[in-house]
Amino acid sequence: MKVSIVQFRSTLGAVDENFFTASRLIEAAKNSDVIILPELWSTGYYPTPVSDFADIDGRRTANFICAAAQKFSVNIIGGSVIVVSGRKILNRCLVANRNGEIVAAYDKTHLFSFAHEDDVFGAGDKIVTVELDGVKCGLAICYDLRFPEFIRKIALAGAEIIFIPAAWSLKRLTPRQILTKARAIENQVFVVFANSAGVSEVVNPSGEIIAVSGNGEEILSAEIDLNERLQVISAMNLLADRNFRVD
């Protein structure tokens, strides 16, 4: 499976401009199986008041990624965008398949209180997996990475690859790179981390970075060989060896 991370720094609050940039980069990455955008790519992270920039029920974003997915026959993990749904404002990731159909929606579960996300966004309350080209994929957004029990639930739901759109500051690059490796190793999954700020990466189940980007606008592509994951599990099946008999 060829995955491509569309990495770019959005212009804060310039929604039309950011949609244009995303369109241009998606077309450039069209020869992929899965394209993933970063967190809050349509607005930047994050303009206030967020309600002024919210996509009502995610309709504009859904129409956009569905049209691109169908046009190029590619699966698109639509990063995340500010969505208003009823009385809630959410940080939502939408996924479109090759046929241009929305097949999954995930709302960010862990809100970054340091940036006051919990003051403006509602929190998601469920894990989400989706099958793309026969591969079980899990979804998380940025800060979710810091919560091992949450990522473990995604792995237990059968995810082989976990896709994580993010807007993670490079000031905290070292812990983030440790965490992507740890989440990959302990769950024996591939981790695809798409970061608007740069240094996006693809990590294999052994915790090795198989692709990493620079800091600027870039398309980072990597071939994911799922047989590699099976080989790691056959040598040491961590999930099967869990022991719950201790207090």
Is 8 in contact with 41 (CB distance < 8 Å)?
A: yes
Candidate list 39, 117, 160, 201, residue with the active-site label: 39
Number of Cβ within 10 Å of residue 99's Cβ equals 11
Catalytic residue among 93, 108, 160, 181: 108
Is 66 among the catalytic positions?
no
Of 130, 182, 127, which Cα lies nearest the Cα of 160? 130
Give yes or no for a cis peptide into 175 (omega within 30° of 0): no
Q: Which of 66, 93, 137, 142 is catalytic?
A: 142
Torsion angles phi and psi, residue 217, rounded to 5: -65, 130
- Please report the sign of the dihedral spanned by the C-alpha atoms of residue 27, residue 59, residue 192, residue 10: positive
Active site annotation includes 153: no
CB atoms within 10 A of CB 223: 11
39 among known catalytic residues: yes
Residues recognised as catalytic: 39, 108, 142
